[in-house]
Amino acid sequence: MVDAAQQPPAVHAEQVRKVFPPAEGVIADSAAGTVALDGINLTVQPGEFVSLVGPSGCGKSTLLRIIAGLTDASAGRVSVNGVTVSGVDTNIGFVFQDPNLFPWLTVRQNVAFGPNMRGGRRNPHAGDVDDLIARVGLGAFADALPQHLSGGMAQRAALARALVNRPPVLLLDEPLGALDAFTRMAMQDELRNLTRRYNTTTLLVTHDIDEALYLSDRVIIFSPRPGRIQEEMVIGSGFTRARNAPGFVERRLRILETLHFAPTEADLPESVGNWKI
């Protein structure tokens, strides 16, 4: 068990703001440009699994990119494991919305890329490559090139490529978005097992509220742009991670309400008029 008191937070964001300069064809909020994020304060403890949910365009991907050091914040401060982010950090694993596989490498070569860079066979985790390829259900496609994979398969390969490095901090940007419902649930189980086994601090952006509830210790709900944290929901360790459990259903509805998508009685057909939240 991690003693949070002895370690700095895995991720700490303080008053983070991001403004993109005006761009051609974009109707900006102001002459300064598009305010993507404003006043973001977020602390993630080592080993914690936190999901970010919110409307499209509220800055979720931008926040992950700032934490990963891929883009600068316009104001505020971000640190990872106590060190101020000032560039790309190899202790951070990232799965982008777009799988971004190397097109000239096979699935196995893509997944092995990180371990090979760090010393190939001598790397203690190199044996994980085939195990992870099997876990994400791509055993039969290990020697295939990305062009022969479906979008969901490429996403699973990208997930294996990030997990094989056992990064202390893992940033996942809708990594399961292109998967069918059944594969998605199987991948959620793998993700939960692996991140718990390796005590990986994980920040997951997802549109799928059930996915957020199923996987997370905490769910952060963003407001529409400019993205601000609207609500935080702590998911207790005693929480029943079953999609039809009463506590699960109640939390799902609370998140939907916060996002303003919950049906009111007026929206419902008469046949379900007695339905109560």
Residues that bind ligand ADP (CB under 6 A): 20, 23, 34, 36, 56-62, 225
- At 184, list the tokens: 């998605």
Q: Please tell me what DSSP assigns to residue 227.
A: B
Of the two residues 34 and 123, which places its CB atom closer to ligand ADP in the complex? 34
268 sits in which H/E element: none
Residue 56's binding partner out of ligand ADP, Mg ion, none, with CB under 5 to 8 Å set by partner kind: ligand ADP
Of the two residues 61 and 110, which places its CB atom closer to Mg ion in the complex? 61
* Dihedral sign from CA coordinates of 56, 59, 63, 68: positive
User: To the nearest whole angstrom, how small is the minimum distance from the Cβ of residue 61 to Mg ion?
Assistant: 3
Of the two residues 48 and 173, which places its CB atom closer to ligand ADP in the complex? 173
188 binds Mg ion, rule: CB under 5 A: no
- At 6, list the tokens: 């002895």
61 binds Mg ion, rule: CB under 5 A: yes
The per-residue b/e assignment along 20-31, b for 16 or more CB within 10 angstroms, e otherwise, is beeeeeeeeeee
Which burial class, exposed, middle or buried, applies to 83 when counting CB atoms under 10 A from its CB (0-12, 13-18, 19+)?
exposed
Region of 39-47, 55-63, 207-215, 248-256 interacting with Mg ion (CB under 5 A): 55-63
Contact 248, 219 (CB under 8 A): no
How many residues interact with Mg ion (rule CB under 5 A)? 1
User: To the nearest whole angstrom, how small is the minimum distance from the Cβ of residue 133 to Mg ion?
Assistant: 26
User: To the nearest whole angstrom, how small is the minimum distance from the Cβ of residue 162 to Mg ion?
Assistant: 17
Q: Which amino acid is at 95?
A: V
Of the two residues 106 and 206, which places its CB atom closer to Mg ion in the complex? 206
What is the contact surface with Mg ion in residues (CB under 5 A)? 61
